[in-house]
Amino acid sequence: MLLIAGVVALLTAACAAAGTDTTSASGFDGTVLDPPEPKPEFVLTDTQGNPFDFQADTQGDLTLLYFGYTYCPDICPVQLAQIAAALDKLPDVERHTKVVFVTVDPERDTPKVIRSFLDKFDTNFIGLRGTIEEVEAAQRAAGVSVAAKIGEGDDYSMAHAAQVIAYAPDGFAYTQYPYGTRQTQWVHDLPLVLDRTDS
Amino acid sequence: MKLWCAALNRPWSWHWIAYPGVWVMVALPTIWYLVKVHRHGGVDRRSRAAFLAAMGIFWVSSDWPVGTLGAGYLDWVHMLQYLLYVLAIAPLLLLGTPEWMARQTLDRLHLLGAYRWLSRHLLVSGVIFNIVLLATHSPIGVDTLRSSQLGSFAMDMSWLASGIVLWAPIVNPIEELRTQSFALKMVYLFLSAGVVPIVPASALTFAHYPLYSTYELAPRVGRLTALEDQQLAGIVMKLGMVPVIWGAIGVMFFRWAAQERAR
């Protein structure tokens, strides 16, 4: 019995260590943006071929903005899978959330390719594309580094910003989430971002 | 050059990776064993087969692709590796080692006294086995050790050592160090490897979130999500141990019954 008690105690301690509290004084686990950043203005095209006005079409929603590309071998699939897993656990938050994926590789990422890629994570995720100039302008407007092509031919990759920017329903981003954000951190922060309406 | 499998932090690929450290760890003991046995005038076929099977399983479970997948991509493969080390390699090594070799080796390493003491103190053996089990399956243990080749090597070797500690009272090559009582052996094995491991296995199966950042943030292999992978790891641990542990207990029970009938 002592052994089992010890096992339970050690395991509890280990699990607690796994969920190490990284919450900052602001209450968020994510990287706090100080001052908060306003939602950028840009219009791109969604996977149905319709224009998508980022500011107007996400008004009043918790909006997660991510710049990536479907051929991304590591960071993009992990970030999107983490968001999808977290939203699955937060159905009340999910109803008021829009996840917007903007491709930084419009040459290869056709609307069909983007849709197929996003549907692996969540069919409600919104995919946007535009010309290279439009996409670069959107990245600048969002305050992230502009993606750059690495390599030649068809087998190139894109160096791009890895963080997800979270805009509260009031239209301001108070936090962003780098690659490596864990599901527990997403689940902790998303309800807080949704409730954050006092800019 | 990579010597031992550790988390790679890059997308999984079926391109072969060489791990010379694994080859050395397989080749040196095998050559050493075969030379020793040859000089001694041979060993029975069963022991030789057990030792070579142990080294074969050790190679497969430590080298690419199993070792690489387990070290940095899939939790269930990590768990499978654990079971192979503890439930297959360790007892096969003990079964494959002739008594004279075990005595000679332990004596030269000045470990005979400690080994003798450990083999006779079942409670200590059980506790050591379970401490290693917990430490190497705790989130902090996995995420720390799997991030480096040295850490990953230490984890794998601690599994092997804990497996030898677990099985030594049952299949000890040194006859007088084997626990003689069948009942005691059965209870020992049941409590050490049949009960306590259910706790971490259940934690993995029923956790709401991935516990290990190593596998949660690894580029996915196949269609399993990080949480599904973890749940599968829990099931592998729970179900993987059952046939071996209960199989061993069953064998001991029937031997005990046969012994009683013969009296």
Question: Which one of B10, B140, B196 has the shortest CB-CB distance to A4?
Answer: B196
pLDDT at A26: 77
CA atoms within 13 A on the CB side of A165: 25
Mutation to test the A interface, candidates B202, B209, B212, B237, most A Cβ within 10 Å? B209
Digit-coded pLDDT (tens) for B212-247: 999 999 999 998 999 999 999 999 999 999 899 999
Q: Residues B87, B240: contact at Cβ < 8 Å?
A: yes
Contact A3 B127 (CB under 8 A): yes
Looking at the complex, report in whole angstroms how far the Cα of residue A189 sits from the nearest Cα belonging to chain B: 15
Looking at the complex, report in whole angstroms how far the Cα of residue B4 sits from the nearest Cα belonging to chain A: 22
Q: Which domains does chain A have, with CATH numbers?
A: 34-195 (3.40.30.10)
Q: Give the pLDDT mean for A62-84.
A: 97
Whether B11 and chain A come into contact, CB under 8 Å, resolves to yes
pLDDT at A23: 64
User: Which residues of chain B neighbour A10 with C-beta distances below 8 Å?
Assistant: 134-135, 138
Contact A78 B134 (CB under 8 A): no
Interatomic CA distance for residues A97 and A77, integer angstroms? 19
Q: Give the pLDDT mean for B9-28.
A: 96
Using only C-alpha atoms, chain A has a radius of gyration, in whole angstroms, of 18
User: Which residues of chain B neighbour A85 with C-beta distances below 8 Å?
Assistant: 225-227
Mean pLDDT of chain B: 95
Contact B216 A182 (CB under 8 A): yes
- Evaluate if residue A10 carries a pLDDT over 60: no
Digit-coded pLDDT (tens) for B166-207: 999 999 999 889 898 999 999 999 999 988 888 889 999 999
* pTM for this predicted structure: 0.90
Whether B8 and chain A come into contact, CB under 8 Å, resolves to no
Contact A73 B212 (CB under 8 A): no
Scanning chain B, the segments in alpha helix (DSSP H) are 20-40, 45-62, 66-72, 75-83, 90-96, 99-108, 112-120, 122-135, 139-145, 149-171, 182-189, 198-206, 213-216, 226-262
Strands A157-159 and A148-150: antiparallel
Looking at the complex, report in whole angstroms how far the Cα of residue A88 sits from the nearest Cα belonging to chain B: 11
pLDDT at A2: 36
Whether B145 and chain A come into contact, CB under 8 Å, resolves to no
Q: Residues A58, A93: contact at Cβ < 8 Å?
A: no
